[in-house]
Amino acid sequence: MDIQKACDAFRCLLEEQLRRAQNMNQEKTDFSQKESITIGIIDGDGIGPVIMSQAVRVLEKLLQPQISAGKIILKKIEGLTIENRMALSQAVPEDVLTQIKTCDVLLKGPTTTPMGGNMESANVTLRRELDLYANIRPVSIPEENIQWIFFRENTEGEYVLGSRGVELPGLAMDFKVTTDAGTRRIAQAAFQYAKNNGKNRVSIVTKANIMKKTDGKFTAICHEVAKDYPDISVDDWYIDIMTANLVNPAIRNQFQVVLLPNLYGDIITDEAAQLQGGVGTAGSANVGDRYAMFEAIHGSAPRLMEEGLGDYADPRSILQATAMLLRHILCTDAAQTLENALQTQQETVDVTKGITCQSYTDALLKLL
């Protein structure tokens, strides 16, 4: 009886994922044709409100003429807190999702995901509901001539069904999903970026020697897409050795564009950000055809809040994400101004020196 119930549940998942794969194509948003652009502001949990308040100050400074003219609207979205989500037993409450869908792009603080239970990550839910299939994370280490950019598939893999596995007495199973259409579009995004930005190498990272169906499909389709880009070289790496490659000074500056499935991308981009200077220094874009969401790559830092040090949260990750958002909506001058200021700003948040999140941003605003 338990096995039959599990099989029935698995059948429902299969039918759902097949429907999802058949309905992926959406019309792309053309920001050059929009009369106004709405940026949704979501504080999130823990240190989220601390860093987001500073990101809003930066946006208001850089976009003041467009905001005054009504060409850009900053819209505060309430309710995506762990308390509200737990009370409603919804990863993203329905009324919050309705408000989110009135926006063109989101700037989002970190949200807490409870350990265990059936509560799905708010990020996973938003990526699925908004079809944000490309997670894009740049990492720069100028002194080593390192300019990496990671294209992580964002709506499939282990995460798409991560809270909907099967549990039997003495046995638990989760599922991994790879579709042709989902893989093809993230591969096209990575190769097109490489072509548009003068990159000549794309590295595909999987565990296709073990995960032969899912990662095997991912690798095969990426190579099919690569045939349309004959001037770009392609190489394959397994995720375990690639994590070692990133800490190998002899070869790590040779990598340019890295293309990989969801779980591996989540792990390895944190490693890459740590090499850059810490997870607090890297931004992240979640991009689909219709919507996009920009956020810090770190979590809500509950320990920092418990210790009473929330005011010392590092805002650089969300500010890097802010620069990515500005580029996405074609405010390239504002994006470049912010990127230059972030590079120029020497001091970082430091509890020993009394440099808080707000005082760091005060200094940054002077540079802007």
Please give the average pLDDT of every successive group of 10 residues along the chain, which has 368 residues: 87 90 82 95 97 98 97 97 94 97 97 83 90 94 95 92 84 92 96 95 98 97 98 97 97 97 94 88 90 92 94 94 96 96 88 92 95
Give the number of other Cβ atoms within 10 Å of residue 228's Cβ.
12
Which stretch of DSSP H or E encloses residue 106?
strand 105-108
In order, the DSSP letters of 45-96 are: STTHHHHHHHHHHHHHHHTHHHHHTTSEEEEE----SHHHHHHHT-SS-HHH
What is the per-residue pLDDT for 65?
96
Per the document, the length of the chain is 368
Q: What are the structural domains of the chain?
A: 27-132+288-368 (3.40.718.10), 139-151+163-276 (3.40.718.10)
What is the per-residue pLDDT for 177?
94
Q: Is the dihedral of CA 354, 356, 359, 365 positive or negative?
A: positive
What is the per-residue pLDDT for 278?
84
The rounded distance, in Å, linking the Cα atoms of 158 and 183 is 14
Nearest to 129 by CA among 95, 103, 97, 153: 97
Q: Exposed, middle or buried, 239 (CB in 10 Å: 0-12/13-18/19+)?
A: buried
What's this model's pTM, rounded to 2 decimal places?
0.85
What is the per-residue pLDDT for 209?
97
Query: For residue 177, what is the DSSP state?
Result: B
Residues of 304-333 as b/e, b for ≥16 C-beta within 10 angstroms? beeeeebebbbbbbbbbbbbbbbbbbebee
CA-based diameter of the chain, in Å? 67
Helix (H), strand (E) counts: the chain: 14, 12
What is the per-residue pLDDT for 282?
81
Interstrand relation of 283-287 and 134-141 (parallel, antiparallel or unpaired): antiparallel
As a whole number of Å, the end-to-end CA separation of the chain is 65
What is the per-residue pLDDT for 350?
86
Alpha carbon dihedral 185, 186, 191, 197, in 10-degree steps, equals 110
What is the per-residue pLDDT for 220?
98
Interstrand relation of 292-296 and 283-287 (parallel, antiparallel or unpaired): antiparallel
The rounded distance, in Å, linking the Cα atoms of 283 and 113 is 19
What is the per-residue pLDDT for 119?
83
The rounded distance, in Å, linking the Cα atoms of 141 and 139 is 7
What is the per-residue pLDDT for 78?
96
Q: Give how far Cα 229 sits from Cα of 181, 232, 288, Å.
A: 18, 6, 22
What is the per-residue pLDDT for 116?
73
